[in-house]
Structure 1
Amino acid sequence: MKTQIHDLRKVRMWYEVKELSSNPGNSDSKIAKKLGIDRRTVSRYKKMSEDEFHEFSMKQRVYELVLSPYYPDVLSLLSIDNGLPAAVIEDRLKEKYADLPKVNSKTVYNFVQHVRRQEKIPVPEKIRQTEALEEFAYGSQAQVDFGTAQMRRLDGSRRRVYFFALVLSRSRYKYVFFQTTPFTGKTAVQAHEQAFKYIEGIPGKLLYDQDSVFLKSENLGDYLLADDFRRYRDERGISVEFCRKADPQSKGRVENVVGYVKNNFLRARTFHDIDRLNEEVLSWLERKANGTKHATTKRLPHDVWLIEKEHLSFFRPSPAIPRDEIPTYTVRKDNTISYKGNFYRVPYGTYNGKGPEVLLKVKDGTLSLSNRQGILLAEHPVSLEKGKVRGDTQV
């Protein structure tokens, strides 16, 4: 009887969603609030014809019947802990019943929600307890994170960029570095070196997410550092700490910087080339990010950094980063470089009117072109002919 009532309620809800959505002034969120249902449910119901809705309802009914023998178990678990997540309940059922029907986790979640509705067991409201943290000592910590965003080119196409961000926890003095490929252990090390050069020292501790750039795995609470970063840490003698992802209390400063870069620096900005973007972000750091009053401290990050940098450890370039002398070639107006009688393309927009130089390496018949930050721009097979233009513009 309860299931029939629940089915009728769903049918009525579908009709109400359809009726309310006929008014252009009713958004999905507004309808969801009025009916007391999830916004995603509103969106799903709006897309369904009447026949599709009835078919959907029948499938849901079958799923409920498949799991209905486990109703007492679910109810018992919720009686013990009414805040128990569906994922835990699913695991407990699998542990208890080897022949538990093979349904996906979303089905189990829906069934648990069904039991909650029938038994009037609400989900307890979770309130995250936070407290104001003491201010960090000068030079004691910096926080590091990565971000990515899509930028628009002059021709209207899109270009994804990736960035490294570091912020000193006391002064909020920031550094940002961009590249056109995802960060690896090696390029993350390069970014660290450039950051330490920019802030003129090394902080006492560096705080990170549990990112695959730095970690291979976590074993019973022990972090296994990725090889490149482990070697770098050992050589530098830096102290590192890892925290939970998206934890605003422990790593909120740099997460705010990532959002600041996306919503302030990158917003409505056109991508020309990666070198120009890094020049632009350095100007933005000086002008805006480090040059205007911070909302929390009410001070200029640059002014506080003048004090903080005296508390940072001495920095000199690290031999962990290869610094072999690599020949440079000037990019021509047609975004090519000339090498041994042939022309090799670099990505459109690399030429910026200044005749930028790129680094050229040849190994095993492959010619590689990189910018001065060591970021790969293009790779092409070496041509044995003369006077040819080689290569696609994409890496």
Structure 2
Amino acid sequence: MIQDKMINEIQELKLSGYTLKETCDVLRSRRTKVPTQKTISKYYSMDTTPDDNHVKVKKPMAFDVEPFSSAIAEIVSLNPKCCMSSVYDVLLANYVDTGEFNALPGNEQTLRNYIHHLRDIGKIVERPESRRTYDVMDVPPPGEKAQIDFGQLKCDDGLTVHFICIVLWHSRLLGVYAQDHKFNSEESCRAIHRFSSKCGGRVKTLVIDQDSVFVSEEIYGEVFETTMFKSFLEEQEMGIWVCTKADPESKGCVENAVKYVKSNFFSARRFSCIDDVLRALPAWTDRANSRIHQGTYQVPKEVFERVEKTSLRPLLPSVFEAAPLFLTNAPVNSQPYMLYKSVKYSVPWDMCYAQVCYRVIGDKLHIYDDKRRYVCTHDVCQVKGSFKRLEEHRREKASDWLDTAERMREKWNCVDFQHFINGFKKENPDRHLGKQLAAVERLLNERNPSRHLVAQVMSACCRDLRYKYTQFKAVFELYGEHVGGVADSGMNAVDVDVRGMDLYQKAFDERCAS
């Protein structure tokens, strides 16, 4: 059955001067399903459009009765994106399950057609959708910006591939690097430097999302980079431009790059290990850069070679090079430092009597351990004979006194014990504190006094501010002699005449008899 809209369109084409054959051709070009030429000729030959063309064949709609009509309109108006099957189920629950009706007047398809009819006549009020509008970002000059984003995809056999996409914004040249675990700051910096080395130069600005590998915190536009990423930016003399959250206008083309990698590379391939991904990815990236980009209708590789390559800044050496580093060996003896051009540079204390490696890039000296793992970085000093030491390489203060204090606490703890320990800690240098407390512990262990005596001695030391071993010993001997003198005088006292109980019993009996 031809729709009224089609009849109106045939009449409009006729009034515009189209012949019958031209009208048929236009309708076929506009639609995939058109009436036969006989039907088109019928309505083309009419002088005007009939008022109601379907009045004789129109069937009454099953759901166009109360209470179904108003209920359907209300349900669909309140839930614009609901499924038709869900509406049908609600009608079953409200009218059939409750016993009000034996069955609904139609099936799901009948309900679907009726809802379309209600929308056409305007009985269902469509709520205006809140859609965001944004403009197309201007393409930056060549060599200005590169965008970076991360993606991940679960493959067969439990393999999850994590990859980073880097896109030169002007030419849309794409670089993709993958691994079997999430990228950290160091691995991300290595991937960026690897892409820069492949392109033969550096861009001025990196456009990044607020990923934790790059940005540790963002407060009202104030960006705090991670330590590793900040050192990379300073080393390569690059700036950053951080995208706003949930803002497609600021993300640009990189979001499409992640989707493109997932759909074009991963969707038709099956990978069981990360090695298969690493073998196939470089060749696919070259092929992708050789195809026409659907956003610019140009070949990224050709645009890069013709325009952008010459605009990139020259490469700088980096500690984040993916290739094996060329390191120089240097010995570390009993003192925690290595020698470079007559200047001593500190290393951690646990690297004494070991072999270290170093590499100089610009005015930075980067030190590695014997397994080529990064240790620290110094500023190169031009003054020969000087010594450069980092704060974290200073010897830690002696802590052996803590063990001594805890042993004493378990055996001689008292009210003034902590006061006594704090006084020793304040009055004795750190390098002698352990020796002083150890001597006090030995004295107490040798004499083995009572806890009451030790408490008296410590209380006297705290009262008179005596926090040296010799002072503690003098106080201890003084109190020890006093206690010993009292004990001796008691031993030399006159013996008391001791009488038995029978004597007292005899006296008691005599008193009672009298």
Give the TM-score, by structure 1 length: 0.51
In 1, distance between residues paired with 2:316 and 2:237? 13
Q: Deviations over 1:287-319 (max 9, x none)?
A: 1x2011111322111000102111011124412
Q: CA deviation at 1:213?
A: 1.2
Q: Which of the numbers 104, 118, 136 marks the counterpart of 1:132?
A: 136
Flag the 1:317–1:283 CA change in 2: closer, same or farther, 3 A: farther
8 Å Cα contact 1:189/1:229 also seen in 2: yes
Flag the 1:315–1:362 CA change in 2: closer, same or farther, 3 A: closer
Report the counterpart of residue 286 of structure 1 in structure 2.
286
Report the counterpart of residue 210 of structure 2 in structure 1.
210
In 2, distance between residues paired with 1:44 and 1:211? 42
In 2, distance between residues paired with 1:291 and 1:320? 28
Q: Deviations over 1:323-379 (max 9, x none)?
A: 5689xxxxxxxxxxxxxxxxxxxxxxxxxxxxxxxxxx799xxxxxxxxxxxxxxxx
For 1:192-341, list aligned pairs within 5 A.
192-287=192-287, 289-306=288-305, 307-320=307-320
Flag the 1:173–1:38 CA change in 2: closer, same or farther, 3 A: same
Report the counterpart of residue 151 of structure 2 in structure 1.
147
Flag the 1:149–1:320 CA change in 2: closer, same or farther, 3 A: closer
* Secondary structure of residue in 1 paired with 2:166: strand
In 2, distance between residues paired with 1:222 and 1:281? 36
8 Å Cα contact 1:162/1:183 also seen in 2: yes
Q: CA deviation at 1:252?
A: 2.5
In 2, distance between residues paired with 1:148 and 1:192? 18
Q: CA deviation at 1:43?
A: 6.9
Flag the 1:216–1:302 CA change in 2: closer, same or farther, 3 A: same
* Secondary structure of residue in 2 paired with 1:183: coil
Flag the 1:201–1:321 CA change in 2: closer, same or farther, 3 A: closer
8 Å Cα contact 2:210/2:242 also seen in 1: yes
**Residue 38 (structure 1) aligned with residue 38 (structure 2):** no
**Residue 186 (structure 1) aligned with residue 186 (structure 2):** yes
Rg: which structure is higher?
A: 2
Q: Deviations over 1:106-149 (max 9, x none)?
A: xxxxxxxxxxxxxxx99764343333333321111111100011
AA matched with 1:158: G
8 Å Cα contact 2:194/2:321 also seen in 1: no
Percent identity for Structure 1 against Structure 2: 31
Q: Runs of 5+ in structure 1 lacking a partner?
A: 1-7, 18-31, 55-120, 327-360, 364-395
Tell me which moved more, 274-283 or 127-136. 127-136
Q: CA deviation at 1:46?
A: 6.8
* Secondary structure of residue in 1 paired with 2:141: coil
In 1, distance between residues paired with 2:286 and 2:200? 15
Flag the 1:193–1:180 CA change in 2: closer, same or farther, 3 A: same
Alignment: residue pair count = 234
8 Å Cα contact 2:236/2:316 also seen in 1: no
* Secondary structure of residue in 2 paired with 1:149: strand
Flag the 1:286–1:36 CA change in 2: closer, same or farther, 3 A: same
Flag the 1:40–1:149 CA change in 2: closer, same or farther, 3 A: farther
Structure with higher helix content: 2
In 2, distance between residues paired with 1:246 and 1:145? 14
In 1, distance between residues paired with 2:81 and 2:183? 37
Tell me which moved more, 185-194 or 168-177. 185-194
Report the counterpart of residue 161 of structure 1 in structure 2.
161
Q: CA deviation at 1:231?
A: 1.2
AA matched with 1:304: V
In 2, distance between residues paired with 1:40 and 1:206? 45
* Secondary structure of residue in 1 paired with 2:252: helix
* Secondary structure of residue in 2 paired with 1:167: strand
Flag the 1:275–1:193 CA change in 2: closer, same or farther, 3 A: farther
Flag the 1:143–1:315 CA change in 2: closer, same or farther, 3 A: same
In 2, distance between residues paired with 1:145 and 1:237? 20
8 Å Cα contact 1:235/1:320 also seen in 2: no
Q: CA deviation at 1:37?
A: 3.7
AA matched with 1:305: F
* Cα-Cα RMSD: 4.0
Q: CA deviation at 1:232?
A: 1.0
Flag the 1:282–1:325 CA change in 2: closer, same or farther, 3 A: same
8 Å Cα contact 2:80/2:126 also seen in 1: no
Give the TM-score, by structure 2 length: 0.40
Q: CA deviation at 1:278?
A: 2.3
In 2, distance between residues paired with 1:202 and 1:39? 51
* Secondary structure of residue in 1 paired with 2:218: strand
In 2, distance between residues paired with 1:311 and 1:219? 34
Q: Runs of 5+ in structure 2 lacking a partner?
A: 1-66, 98-124, 328-370, 374-514
Flag the 1:216–1:135 CA change in 2: closer, same or farther, 3 A: closer
Flag the 1:362–1:187 CA change in 2: closer, same or farther, 3 A: closer
8 Å Cα contact 2:159/2:272 also seen in 1: no
Flag the 1:223–1:299 CA change in 2: closer, same or farther, 3 A: same
* Secondary structure of residue in 2 paired with 1:261: helix
Flag the 1:221–1:313 CA change in 2: closer, same or farther, 3 A: same
Q: CA deviation at 1:215?
A: 1.0
AA matched with 1:131: D
Structure with higher strand content: 1
In 1, distance between residues paired with 2:126 and 2:255? 33
Q: CA deviation at 1:273?
A: 3.2
Q: CA deviation at 1:275?
A: 3.5
In 2, distance between residues paired with 1:132 and 1:208? 18
Q: CA deviation at 1:41?
A: 11
8 Å Cα contact 1:193/1:317 also seen in 2: no
For 1:111-122, list aligned pairs within 5 A.
none
